């Protein structure tokens, strides 16, 4: 007997769509599953102003219009924009963002933390006027929670960020809404649980399904490489526990990040896992491993919307317990290819 799982249409509260020709691939892939998507602003150049955010949204919607995705999915897709926080962002920028109606958050990248983060903040606690404005208007701060000091071990950078940076931001701006994005450690999960309702966290499918052994044992596997990097198995287990607990502080954020295959399988080894096409079957596998499929809908479709103060979607999607083989690659960028997470491997679930 086939197991069928019907969910309220999910949103993705952390996704990378890139720009230009990449959008013809990434936008239809995202729109096939998700209604609202929080679009990361670390483009080249970054999305720093409301005007740039509006222009980027128009490019995304143009790519959607030109795709062969169904009209129903086109109508439901709502890219929500994010401003890239820099040392020059002002309180006026925040006011304009809120008034635009399309900017849903501001992203904090410590300078050099991940792909295209060179324009990130160098003095985080020096951003007080911006944080005060965000607190005033209820605009969430999304944090890539890692320090970037060369002398800090890459596996310890999230914990150090909690201790050295995030705890101070919260102490100074106690009403600021914050999303701890793509948390990877038990430390981050427990830190989030210890905070008020204005602090939440997203969790990716790769951090629920894999740990650093998957990345490193038997040779380095570049398509498991992301930032923050995969951690020990005990951290993976703690993320599974909180994700499937039914606690509204934790919700979906795929961090799906496309890199052309030749840039992943190179000395660069670009950080990011591409999961947009099959993210929901990946999450279903993770939740099933914890006997918690009954908790999946709130995680993917309810808790994030409520945190952002948006209505829960009214449409639905269906997953079935039927094996699928993930494609080896997708066409991408002028004849190049894009390798998805678990390329060529079998998943127990699929979206219909």
Q: What is the mean pLDDT of residues 319-327?
A: 97
19 annotated ligand binder: no
Residue 229: is its pLDDT beyond 70?
yes
Query: What letter would DSSP give residue 335?
Result: T
**Distance in Å from the first CA to the final CA of the chain:** 16
235 annotated ligand binder: no
Q: What CA–CA distance (Å, rounded) separates 269 from 271?
A: 6
18 annotated ligand binder: yes
Token pair in block for residue 241: 């526990």
Rg of the chain on CA atoms, in Å: 19
Q: What CA–CA distance (Å, rounded) separates 236 from 239?
A: 5
Active-site residue, from 19, 255, 294, 334: 255
144 annotated ligand binder: yes
Asked about 255 being catalytic, the answer comes back as: yes
Residue 109: is its pLDDT beyond 80?
yes
pLDDT in tens, 147-187: 988 899 999 999 999 999 999 999 999 999 999 999 999 99
Q: Which CATH architecture best describes the domain 4-318?
A: Alpha-Beta Barrel (3.20)
pTM: 0.96
pLDDT confidence bin for 112, thresholds 50/70/90:
low
Q: Domain-by-domain residue ranges, the chain? A: 4-318
259 annotated ligand binder: yes
Mean residue pLDDT across the chain: 95
Token pair in block for residue 229: 């990097």
Q: Quick one: which H or E segment has residue 39?
A: strand 36-39
Predicted pLDDT of residue 143: 97
């Amino acid at each position: 007997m086939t197991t069928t799982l019907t969910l309220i249409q999910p949103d993705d509260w952390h996704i990378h769509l890139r720009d230009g020709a990449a959008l013809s691939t990434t936008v239809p892939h995202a729109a096939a599953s998700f209604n609202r998507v929080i679009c990361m602003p670390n483009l080249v150049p970054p999305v720093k102003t409301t005007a740039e955010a509006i222009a980027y949204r128009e490019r995304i919607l143009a790519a959607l219009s030109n795709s062969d995705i169904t009209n129903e999915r086109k109508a439901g897709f709502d890219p929500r924009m994010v401003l890239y926080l820099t040392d020059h962002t002002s309180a006026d920028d925040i006011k304009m963002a809120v008034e635009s109606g399309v900017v849903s958050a501001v992203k904090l990248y410590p300078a050099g933390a991940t792909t295209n983060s060179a324009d990130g903040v160098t003095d985080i606690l020096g951003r007080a006027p911006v944080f005060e404005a965000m607190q005033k208007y209820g605009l969430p701060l999304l944090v890539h929670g890692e320090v970037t000091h060369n002398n800090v071990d890459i596996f310890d950078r999230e914990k150090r960020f909690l201790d050295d940076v995030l705890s101070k931001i919260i102490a100074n701006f106690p009403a600021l809404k914050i999303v701890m994005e793509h948390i990877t450690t038990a430390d981050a999960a427990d830190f989030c649980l210890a905070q008020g309702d204005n602090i939440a966290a997203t969790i990716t499918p790769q951090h629920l399904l894999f740990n650093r052994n998957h990345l490193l044992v038997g040779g380095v596997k570049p398509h498991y490489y992301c930032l923050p990097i995969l951690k020990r198995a005990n951290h993976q287990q703690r993320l599974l526990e909180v994700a499937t607990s039914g606690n509204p502080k934790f919700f979906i954020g795929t961090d799906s990040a496309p890199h052309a295959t030749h840039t992943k399988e190179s000395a660069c080894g670009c950080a990011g896992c591409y999961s947009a096409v099959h993210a929901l079957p990946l999450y279903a596998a993770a939740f099933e491993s914890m006997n918690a499929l009954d908790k999946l809908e709130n995680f993917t479709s309810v808790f994030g919307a409520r945190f952002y103060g948006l209505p829960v979607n009214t449409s639905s999607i269906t997953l079935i317990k039927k094996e699928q083989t993930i494609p080896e690659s997708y066409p991408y960028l002028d004849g190049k290819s894009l390798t998805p997470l678990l390329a060529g491997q079998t998943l127990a679930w699929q979206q219909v």
